[in-house]
Amino acid sequence: MEERIQKILSQAGVASRREAERMITAGRVTVNGVPVTELGAKADPARDRITVDGKPVTVEEKRVYLLLNKPVGYVTTLKDPDGRPIVTDLLKGVGVRVFPVGRLDYNTEGLLLLTNDGAWANRLAHPRHEVDKEYLVRVRGTVDREQLRRLERGVELDDGKTAPARAAVFKESDNNTWVSITIHEGRYRQVRRMCEAVSLSVVRLRRVRYGSLSLGELKIGEFRYLTPAEVKALDGVAPRRTGPSSR
The answer to whether 100 touches 108, Cβ cutoff 8 Å, is no
Tell me the pLDDT tens digit for each residue of 139-157: 999 999 999 999 999 999 9
Enumerate the active-site residues. 105
Q: Which of 65, 10, 67 is nearest to 243 (CA)?
A: 65
Q: How far is CA 239 from the centre of its chain?
A: 17
Return the SS3 of 114: strand
For the segment 70-87, the average pLDDT, to the nearest whole number, is: 94
For the segment 110-136, the average pLDDT, to the nearest whole number, is: 86
Q: Cα(166)–Cα(170) distance, rounded to whole angstroms? A: 12
Q: 29: which strand partners?
A: 52
- Structure confidence at residue 11 as a pLDDT band (50, 70, 90): confident
Q: Cα(244)–Cα(117) distance, rounded to whole angstroms? A: 9
Model-level pTM greater than 0.85? no
Q: Domain 3-56: which topology? A: 3.10.290
Report which DSSP code applies to 245.
Answer: -
Q: 51: which strand partners?
A: 30, 56
Asked if CATH classification 3.30.70.580 holds for the domain at 65-128+212-235, the reply, yes or no, is: yes
Q: Cα(207)–Cα(225) distance, rounded to whole angstroms? A: 18
Q: Domain 132-210: which topology? A: Alpha-Beta Plaits (3.30.70)
- Structure confidence at residue 243 as a pLDDT band (50, 70, 90): very low
Q: Cα(93)–Cα(91) distance, rounded to whole angstroms? A: 6
Q: Which of 230, 187, 212, 207 is nearest to 112 (CA)?
A: 207
- Segments of the chain assigned to CATH 3.10.290.10: 3-56
Question: Where are any strands of DSSP class E within 59-164?
Answer: 65-70, 99-100, 109-115, 133-140, 156-157, 160-161
- Structure confidence at residue 237 as a pLDDT band (50, 70, 90): low
Weakest mean pLDDT among 2-6, 216-220, 241-245: 241-245
The answer to whether 69 touches 215, Cβ cutoff 8 Å, is yes
- Segments of the chain assigned to CATH 3.30.70.1560: 132-210
